[in-house]
Structure 1
Amino acid sequence: MRTSGVYISAVGVDLPDCADVQQAIEDGLLDAAVAEESGFIGVAVAQDTPAPEMAVRATRQALERWTGDPSELGALFYVDSFPSGPAGWLPQSYLMREVVGGDLLAVGVRQGCNGVFGALELAAAYLEGTPAEAVLITATDNMSSPLVDRWRSSPGYILGDGASAAILTSSPGFARLLSVTSMTVPGIEAVHRGTQSLNPSTLPTGQKLDLGARMEEFRLGGGDYSELVSKSRQAQNELLAAALDEARIDIGDIKRVAFPHGSVKNVRAGATALGFRMEQTTWEYGCRVGHVMASDQLLSLDHLLHTHEIGPGDRVLLMGYGPGLGIAAAVVEITDRPHWLARTDGQNDR
């Protein structure tokens, strides 16, 4: 999707304190060999802080940085990967009551770790197709549920907690959204389903999330991992070509690329396959906070801004992967130095 006149005017984050991976090894939560191979150093852990509360904090920070009027918001896209709160309840309504107010379209977006990209596409289309001046995207997750083992549930990842927010506007902001696009490879959908039933009534109560076990079920059921790798690589190459074409730039124009916060092996493989160097990725940041689900890319963008690793004129590629298999990309061009950095030089207001 080639966007025209869609800007990012503010981002906000809420990241809890990080648990030390070495301590997790000593506590028997993670195998030392697995930890060493992953390269992770720390992971953000929110303990009992509800995901919607982190969303409130990230949204408040984004609104403060924006300095706009919340009444200008035309829509809210609330992204989460794991259920939070009572069954049958919608967290986006809570966010509206606590922070945003008003009478606006409030939509929940659940695309796993690709949720922010789906929200970006929806937000861009909304801004371009309505008189709305601004749209809010919020992503949040707390993976401290007893049904999730953050250290082992997803091979190649250590699951972190946190929230992020972005305000997209039709008037100039610190960055311009040049393109956002996504692709699904349904032929390998079963890799995240395994042999699990599609009927909730047949599933055991309190079933734990174990993507590794599902991948093994996929393999034992005749799933071909070589085909999976081949199809996913082909899809991501096609997606990158489309994203660059829609943004009207070449791959050499990209300064930094933010992948999901996976293991060093995963990030290196993704970077190499697409033609990027590891130094261009945000691995050095991601290995310290873990895979914060759908928030990884916005957290990385915020980090790059605060550390002055990107500035006006730089293009940043955001890459996402989610169950399905979903692949997504967005190209962002920094057009100005965020005004809030001028008052936080030498400190971090996150």
Structure 2
Amino acid sequence: MLLPLLEIQELKVHIPLKSGLFGRKYSFVKAIDGVDFSIYENETFGLVGESGCGKSTTGKAIMRLIDPTSGKVSFEGKDISRLSRKEMRNVYKDIQLIFQDPYASLNPRKTAGDIIEEPMIINTTMSPEERKYRVQELLEVVGLNAYHSTRYPHEFSGGQRQRIGIARALALNPKLLIADEAVSALDVSVQSQVLNLLRQLQHERGLTYLFISHDLSVVKHISDRIGVMYLGRIVEQGSKKSIYKNPLHPYTQALLSAAPSINRTNERERIVLMGDLPNPINPPKGCPFHPRCFAKKTECESASPQFRNVGDEHYVACHLYN
């Protein structure tokens, strides 16, 4: 049986809210409220949903940039969710993060070469000459030139800065890359270049991706399987083909109906969701989507739907499919 490279089980991140002189906890923001998914080697798993649903928090919790409240994160069969910061340093060699903002994630006081070299200084015993050669190699891998190593971040375009971020993430030969809105800050033409680069690197290096995005067209282009997230939970999960051809959850149907299409024959009837995303401090009882759902039933207001397989590894959490 093929074991997943990364497995998430009942992951929760509840952020405490404090008030008063002594910082008394009075409530929690349920940023992630029980997330389950697995990613297999050489696969791209797309995590999609509107802003505030918990996508980026999930990526940060996997990397332990935010400590999970409960749940389990397993990498290569080992639970990493309770490791110390020192123990996590060994894990970071195999899991790297590509940040959303290609400028804010780069130190403006360091050159591109220094930024890419830094992980090697901290985590390897490579000599300065070996590191310099590796930096030049990585710059060329991501479509830049060796002479770019002496330039500072402000001297690059947005797409070039994101390429530097990718080169830094590749410095330690990781097995898993978490791309957190990695192309959302880029122009459309540059987005396609970076996406094609990521696919090429995956093919050449056997990389595995967790690709986080709110852009459905981008997720469709790069993903093998997709998880649709709403208010801290995954409400639908399946292969790219099954999600786009046969969306089951009303939220997924609404998202896909809003995606622009150049093919009129494939256009979906527009579904307009009423109201805003509920407050994660006090989420609705029952199904979290029911206040905005156009197909809700009476039981949706009181009973939480089970996340079930409805066939061909297509999972959905909705009372319509009981």
TM-score range, shorter chain: under 0.3
Bigger Rg, which one: 2
Relative to the length of structure 2, the TM-score reads 0.27
Higher relative contact order (CA 8 A, sep 6+): 1
Relative to the length of structure 1, the TM-score reads 0.26
